Chains A and B, each alone.
Chain A
Amino acid sequence: MDNLAGSKQLTVAEEILARAAGREESSAGEYVVAQVDAMMMHDIFAADVLSMLERAGIQRLHDPSKVTVVFDHMIPPPSVSAASHQAKARELISHFGIDAFFEIGRGICHQVMIEERRVVPGQLVVATDSHTTTYGAQGVAATGIGSSEMAYALATGQLWFKVPESVSVILEGQFSYGVTAKDLILYLMKAIGSAEAQYRSIEFGGPGVDELSLADRMTISNMGVEIGAKFAVFPADSIQTIRENAGYVASHTVSLRSLTPQVAVPHHVENVVDVDEVAGTPLDQVFIGSCTNGRLEDLRQAAGILEGKHIAKGLRLIVFPASSQVMEAAAREGIIETLNKAGAYVGGPGCGPCFGGHLGLLAPGERCLGTHNRNFRGRMGSADAEIYLGSPMTAAASALAGAITNPCQMDHITSGREPIGAVATGDSLGRRGEA
């Protein structure tokens, strides 16, 4: 490496986009036309995208084997229009020869993509969902696009990309009890924000990364998009982050030990405060699930707090596991039973109410704390409802109290019981974060 000392290195974004564009290198700010390695659509947009191709007279996809479709949003269909939309999508999925089609019940698209190994480190991936940044947890340059761009990518196998500037985030130490990956990414919403991260790639590195499971990394990469990030990448296999001689436009170092539970307050995900600042705020609904925090580790942490207890009177707790695998594992561990006995409504795998489509919308004046990713006005039903975002532990503690509660202040966490975050011996994907 000596002869490389001092010479310029590429960021992960520059390296992956250069490779996908068939070039030696690329530099932040330029535009490249790149071959896309994998593409994914879910039920909300699959019919629109494929219909657009059909209307244009496109008879075949560039490479159907690179394409995955997952039905996870409006499922099971709550209306005739949703059912019709999905019926049209099924017809076109078959027409265009897309074999990797996961029907309702398999799970949330991003969780399914990781579980089914539809993405691998170093790839360039696009999908018709903003939370596509999730795959950055496995060293993938992955980002959300709209329906028209997806139609173009499906037809041609390529898309143009602006090579983004990169921001480095170096993690040190490990979390204290009651503090999770969700609290870290919420903290970064506040500490970095969209003013700095918009259209940029965030690279995570440092010794603290070794403390994070794949589930943790997925939570963090998932919400990278909430501050506008194009990619949110962790090291994996040959993809190394935080390169000494690469050009980062900003750098941050975060001590995991110093973090406390964080909550995003209405009506923007960058409005983040320490949980203690809003503790005691009464709640009508708590939601645990989503591509951000519906994994086995999340349900396990929530169940650890809810076990043997019952949620507050007048509050409803809604839980949607992220996938069928998560649901099976949670059932095997007794987590589903714990949740049921605590008074939760546990639904099947899917997006649930996160995107505001159905399955737990809010009435005017109601207040919800969820483990999902957005709290914009009108996100979950009425524009006059309030949404708070927090970790599964904060959600569980708050469900018991009927009001926003700091999970570190729950009795059994400080009672000498084994710390909940340390119980896991394997994640829902059967492997550790190193993948």
Chain B
Amino acid sequence: MAGLPAIRGRAWLFGSGISTDMLSPGQYVHHPMEERLKHVLESARPEFAGGVKPGDIVVAGANFGCGSSRESAPQHLKDLGVVAVVADSLARIFSRNAIAIGLVAIACPSISEVVKDGDTVEIDVVSGMVSVGERGIVLEGDRIPEPMLDVLRHGGIEPLLASIAAEQNR
């Protein structure tokens, strides 16, 4: 079982109320994946989908991921290489979906006020501590509860299902 090493990456800063319609617009829901990924967050920051690099981190204001239950919202971020989302607060279904697909998502009040776009942000996933080294800032995010950390350690629910299947079919 993989551990949960600290994450360090470049921040893309977003405001509050980033919805699943912005993350994964409904009109592209059955389009080919490469087409869908081009539209991720285009209505908030058109340069994001083309500019994001593997290992980057999304930092946002309140209620990140509000709206639909579509799991494509966190999945698209992961597919684009984003390794974590840290927001002042997270919408409930989004936060569960992120963990379910193996994407770190941490609520960290007022993080969006201290992080500047392009900052290097470091996250201790288990403790929930978030730091911005170059500014000497350390904030305490909400701890991810143990059942969800366990899902993260497995890399998401899908890998877990394989072991359930093995048990069922024994």
Decide: A56 and B89 in contact? CB cutoff 8 A: no
Chain B 58-73 near chain A by CB (<8 Å), digits 1 or 0: 0000110011111100
B69–A130 CB distance below 8 A? yes
Contact A198 B63, beta carbon cutoff 8 Å: yes
CB of A258 to closest CB in B, whole Å: 28
Name the distance in Å between A278's Cβ and chain B's nearest Cβ.
19
Residue from A146, A270, A361 within 8 A of B70 (CB atoms): A146
Query: Of A79, A144, A156, A228, which is within 8 A of B63 by CB?
Result: A228
Q: How many inter-chain residue pairs (CB < 8 Å) link A and B?
A: 147
In the complex, A300 has a CB within 8 A of chain B: no
If A130-B68, A355-B26, A377-B21 touch, whether A149 touches B168 (CB-CB below 8 Å) is no
Set of chain B residues within 8 Å of A145, measured between Cβ atoms: 69, 93, 96-97
Residues of A within 8 A of B158 (CB): 52, 55-56, 148, 151
Most buried by B among A79, A198, A226: A198
Q: Are A60 and B168 in contact (CB under 8 A)?
A: yes
Instruction: Enumerate chain A residues within 8 angstroms of B85, measured Cβ to Cβ.
Output: none
Q: Are B66 and A357 in contact (CB under 8 A)?
A: no
Q: Which residues from chain B contact A415 at a C-beta distance below 8 Å?
A: none
> Complex formed: what's the CA distance from A176 to B161 in Å?
53
The reply on A374 being an interface residue by CB < 8 A is: yes
A245 within 8 A of B: no
Cα(A357)–Cα(B26), bound, Å: 5
- Closest Cβ of chain B: how far from A208's Cβ, in Å? 27
Interface residues of A in 305-359 (CB under 8 A from B): 355-358
Q: Which residues of A contact B26 (CB under 8 A)?
A: 355-357, 379
Question: Are A82 and B69 in contact, with the CB atoms below 8 A?
Answer: no
B29 on the A face (CB < 8 A): yes
Nearest CB in chain B to that of A353: its residue: B26
Supposing A148-B101, A377-B21, A378-B21 touch, asked if A56 and B69 sit within 8 A by C-beta, the answer is no
The answer to whether A260 has its CB under 8 Å from any CB of chain B is: no
Prevailing SS type, chain A contact patch: mixed
Q: Considering the complex, which residues of chain A in the window 122-164 have a beta carbon less than 8 Å from any beta carbon of chain B? A: 128-130, 132, 143-149, 151-152, 155-156, 160, 162
Residues of A in contact (CB 8 Å), total: 57
Interface 1/0 per residue, A81-113 and B, CB below 8 Å:
110010000000000000000000000000000
A96 to chain B, nearest CB (A): 13
Residues on the B chain within 8 Å of A48, using CB: 71
A130: chain B residues at CB < 8 Å are 67-69, 93
Does B42 contact A383, Cβ atoms closer than 8 Å? Answer: yes
Q: Does B112 contact A (CB under 8 A)?
A: no
Within 8 A of A (CB), among B72-127: 89, 91-93, 96-97, 100-101
A225 to B20: give the CA distance in the assembly, Å. 13
Rounded to whole angstroms, the CA-CA distance of A81 and B31 in the bound complex is 7
Bound-state CA distance A48–B31 (Å) is 14
Any B CB within 8 A of the CB of A381: yes
Instruction: Give CA–CA (A128, B68) in the complex, Å.
Output: 9
Q: A268 on the interface (CB 8 Å rule)?
A: yes
Chain B CB within 10 Å — which of A81, A85, A383 has the most? A383
Chain A residues whose C-beta falls within 8 Å of the C-beta of B91 in the assembled complex = 194, 198, 228
Q: Which residues of B contact A (CB under 8 A)?
A: 17, 19, 21-22, 25-27, 29-32, 42-44, 62-63, 66-71, 89, 91-93, 96-97, 100-101, 145-147, 156-158, 160-162, 164-166, 168-169
Could you list 21 A-B pairs, sorted by A, with CB under 8 Å?
A: A44-B70, A56-B161, A57-B165, A57-B169, A58-B164, A74-B29, A74-B30, A81-B32, A82-B30, A129-B68, A130-B93, A132-B69, A148-B156, A199-B92, A225-B93, A356-B27, A357-B29, A377-B21, A378-B42, A381-B27, A383-B42
Chain A to chain B: the 4 pairs with minimum beta-carbon distance, closest first: A356-B26, A383-B43, A56-B161, A146-B71
Known: A60-B168, A79-B30, A381-B27. 12 other contacts (CB 8 A): A33-B147, A56-B165, A59-B169, A146-B96, A149-B100, A195-B62, A355-B68, A361-B27, A377-B21, A379-B19, A379-B21, A383-B25
